[in-house]
């Protein structure tokens, strides 16, 4: 029996991406079985049991393997950041991954091990077992091109990136200040910085890199990767652009009121005029301060626009709370000035979660204020919805530059030097997105990209061809 092994890091977001990749493979190449290795998280990631059960029931060729827990050298709360903890967790899980693949090999032929970007340490296991290793990058091809160049950038200066105004100018990428790199890459003498260097080097050692994008969305970066010019230190493995891969029917874990929330907001949208709603959502990790939330509220109210806004609790000041599941926000406490009552005829604020794909594809929605997470970007493109780019973490500042300066699919949300966005800026950008000629131009461009995305996934389309070439390597 032919088998593929997928290895995500902990957390629902990474798991869902890997499951969707497995589904895509099985849809077009059902002769495989897909085995997904699940590391045990040393902190709360939200329950995945119901989601895994639902996937197993509807996709019997997807088999989950729970890895035993490992002992970390530090208490989870003592790590400087989630990335540093993740690199340790993956490294310590190598013996468990080795055992799991050996066990799968007793009844199947393992044709490939597909690693989450953060699972670079497992390359050693693939080498030991003589299994071809691939990386699955949930960011775009442009960030991959930048990341392949990372070791070269590292050698160009002894200073920390956060202290530099230097701009990276590469012909296949939008200009990006070094200080806008992901936060774990800003200071050199850290565990997480070293981990990212290792990941960049590891990419070049893999058999191939699978990217959730389509070739005509990022043509400059895709060509540069194919030409091998992004990594001056050595060859770039084949890159397979198989996207857009988005979750169209997400099963939720044990979050009992999510379906109620989803039904509530979609029913509310049914009553709104076509393309009248601006949707604001900042991802599962996009937490904003109480002061920032109130500033958004002022800006939305002054804009006069109809809106649907997903609000999460502000981040806890207690570092030990960062890995714990946050309670629902108390909206009346957050917006005690009467904002909710004054805007109830044209706005809806919901707690924590919304069915984002369904919302973006609703006829009433005309714009999206987003944190620029790549999954959200692709979901917006596939729905034909223009964006306001408000990055918060990870590679999102780079994604903002790509969306605003090169692809011209978004307006920028400008912030102060401290990262604060004023109510005036929120008002300005929301109005511009929904009412201006520039907003209309964005809408035309993103509609064209939506049509290109649909073609890429059709029979004979670029992404289907790339998937076929990938699977051919396994056979």
Q: Are residues 441 and 334 in the same domain?
A: yes
* pLDDT tens column, 209-249: 999 999 999 999 999 999 999 998 888 999 999 999 988 65
Whether the pLDDT of residue 12 is over 60: the answer is yes
Report the pLDDT value the prediction gives residue 261, as an integer from 0 to 100.
59
461 within 8 A of 99, measured Cβ to Cβ: no
Its pTM stands at 0.94
Report the pLDDT value the prediction gives residue 255, as an integer from 0 to 100.
47
Q: Are residues 236 and 338 in the same domain?
A: no
Q: Are residues 344 and 416 in the same domain?
A: yes
Domain membership of residue 252 (yes or no) is no
Q: Are residues 264 and 355 in the same domain?
A: yes
The residue-averaged pLDDT of 360-380 equals 97
Q: Are residues 285 and 240 in the same domain?
A: no
Q: Are residues 190 and 274 in the same domain?
A: no
The residue-averaged pLDDT of 122-133 equals 98
Report the pLDDT value the prediction gives residue 146, as an integer from 0 to 100.
96
255 within 8 A of 46, measured Cβ to Cβ: yes
Q: Residue 451 is inside which H or E element, if any?
A: helix 437-457
Whether the pLDDT of residue 2 is over 80: the answer is yes
Report the pLDDT value the prediction gives residue 51, as an integer from 0 to 100.
86
| Of residues 403, 376, 375, 379, the one with CA closest to residue 389 | 403
Report the pLDDT value the prediction gives residue 249, as an integer from 0 to 100.
53
Report the pLDDT value the prediction gives residue 252, as an integer from 0 to 100.
44
Whether the pLDDT of residue 316 is over 80: the answer is no
Whether the pLDDT of residue 20 is over 70: the answer is yes
Domain count, the chain: 2
Domain membership of residue 347 (yes or no) is yes
* pLDDT tens column, 167-199: 999 999 999 999 999 999 999 999 999 999 999
Helices (H), 93-210: 94-105, 123-129, 141-148, 150-155, 191-205
Q: Are residues 276 and 420 in the same domain?
A: yes
Distance between terminal CA atoms of the chain? 12
Report the pLDDT value the prediction gives residue 450, as an integer from 0 to 100.
98
Kindly write down the DSSP assignment for every residue of 196-237, as one continuous string.
Answer: HHHHHHHHHHSSEEEESS-TTTSHHHHHHHHHT-S-TTSPPP
Report the pLDDT value the prediction gives residue 251, as an integer from 0 to 100.
44
* pLDDT tens column, 257-279: 566 657 889 999 999 999 999 99
Report the pLDDT value the prediction gives residue 326, as an integer from 0 to 100.
72
Q: Are residues 233 and 265 in the same domain?
A: no
Whether the pLDDT of residue 431 is over 60: the answer is yes
Select the more confidently predicted residue: 400 or 51: 400
Question: What CATH number does the domain containing 298 carry?
Answer: 3.40.50.2000
Whether the pLDDT of residue 363 is over 80: the answer is yes
> Omega before 244 cis (within 30°)?
yes
Report the pLDDT value the prediction gives residue 248, as an integer from 0 to 100.
66
Q: Are residues 240 and 269 in the same domain?
A: no
User: Could you tell me where the beta strands, DSSP code E, fall in 300-433?
Assistant: 306-311, 347-351, 365-370, 387-389, 410-412
Q: Are residues 319 and 441 in the same domain?
A: yes
Domain membership of residue 446 (yes or no) is yes
DSSP classification of residue 61: T
* pLDDT tens column, 193-209: 999 999 999 999 999 99
Spatial distance between the Cα atoms of 46 and 459, rounded to a whole number of angstroms = 37
Domain membership of residue 26 (yes or no) is yes
| Domain span holding position 199 | 2-247+457-473
Domain membership of residue 123 (yes or no) is yes
In this structure, of 159-163, 244-248, 332-336, 417-421, the range with the lowest mean pLDDT score is 244-248
Q: Are residues 236 and 268 in the same domain?
A: no
Spatial distance between the Cα atoms of 27 and 64, rounded to a whole number of angstroms = 18
The half-sphere exposure of 341 on its side-chain side, counting CA atoms within 13 A, is: 4
The residue-averaged pLDDT of 281-305 equals 94
Domain membership of residue 160 (yes or no) is yes
Report the pLDDT value the prediction gives residue 254, as an integer from 0 to 100.
39
pLDDT, averaged across the chain: 92
In this structure, of 13-22, 124-133, 251-260, 454-463, the range with the lowest mean pLDDT score is 251-260
Whether the pLDDT of residue 321 is over 80: the answer is no
Only one residue has tokens 């890459």, namely: 185
Whether the pLDDT of residue 34 is over 90: the answer is yes
Q: Are residues 359 and 465 in the same domain?
A: no
């Amino acid at each position: 029996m032919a088998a593929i092994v997928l290895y995500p890091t902990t957390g629902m977001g990474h798991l869902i991406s890997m499951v969707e990749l497995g589904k895509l493979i099985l849809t077009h190449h059902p002769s495989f079985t897909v085995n997904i290795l699940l590391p045990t998280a040393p902190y709360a990631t939200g329950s995945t049991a119901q989601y895994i059960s639902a996937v197993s029931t509807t996709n019997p060729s997807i088999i989950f393997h729970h890895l035993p827990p490992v002992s970390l050298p530090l208490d989870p709360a003592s790590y400087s950041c989630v990335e540093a903890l993740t690199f340790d967790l993956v490294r310590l899980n190598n013996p468990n991954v080795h055992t799991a693949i050996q066990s799968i090999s007793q009844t199947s032929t393992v044709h490939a091990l597909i690693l989450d970007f953060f699972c670079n340490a497992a390359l050693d296991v693939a080498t030991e077992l003589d299994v071809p290793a691939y990386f699955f990058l949930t960011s775009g091809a442009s960030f991959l091109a930048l990341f392949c160049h990372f070791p070269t950038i590292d050698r160009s200066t002894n200073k920390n990136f956060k202290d530099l105004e230097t701009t990276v100018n590469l012909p296949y990428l939008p200009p990006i200040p070094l200080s806008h790199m992901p936060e774990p890459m800003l200071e050199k003498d850290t565990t997480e910085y070293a981990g990212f260097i290792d990941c960049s080097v590891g990419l070049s050692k893999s058999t191939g890199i699978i990217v959730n994008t389509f070739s005509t969305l990022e043509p400059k970066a895709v060509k540069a990767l194919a030409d091998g010019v992004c990594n001056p230190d050595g060859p770039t493995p084949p890159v397979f652009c198989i996207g857009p891969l988005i979750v169209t029917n997400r099963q939720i874990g044990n979050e009992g009121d999510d379906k109620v929330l989803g039904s509530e907001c979609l029913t509310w949208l049914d009553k709104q005029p076509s393309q009248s709603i601006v949707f604001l959502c900042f991802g599962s990790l996009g937490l904003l301060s109480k002061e920032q939330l109130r500033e958004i509220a002022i800006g939305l109210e002054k804009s006069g626009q109809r809106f649907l806004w997903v609000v999460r609790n502000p981040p806890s000041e207690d570092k030990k709370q960062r890995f714990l599941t946050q309670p629902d926000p108390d909206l009346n406490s957050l917006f005690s000035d009467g904002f909710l009552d004054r805007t109830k005829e044209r706005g809806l604020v919901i707690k924590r979660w919304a069915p984002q794909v369904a919302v973006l594809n609703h006829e009433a929605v005309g714009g999206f204020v987003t944190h620029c997470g790549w999954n959200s970007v692709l979901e917006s493109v596939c729905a034909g919805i223009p964006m306001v780019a408000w990055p918060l973490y990870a590679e999102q500042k780079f994604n903002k530059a790509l969306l605003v300066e090169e692809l011209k699919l978004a307006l920028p949300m400008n912030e102060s030097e401290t990262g604060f966005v004023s109510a005036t800026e929120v008002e300005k950008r929301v109005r511009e997105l929904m009412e201006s000629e520039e907003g209309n131009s964005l809408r035309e461009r993103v509609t064209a990209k939506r049509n290109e995305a649909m073609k890429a996934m059709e029979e004979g389309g670029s992404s289907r061809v790339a998937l076929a070439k990938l699977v051919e390597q396994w056979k």
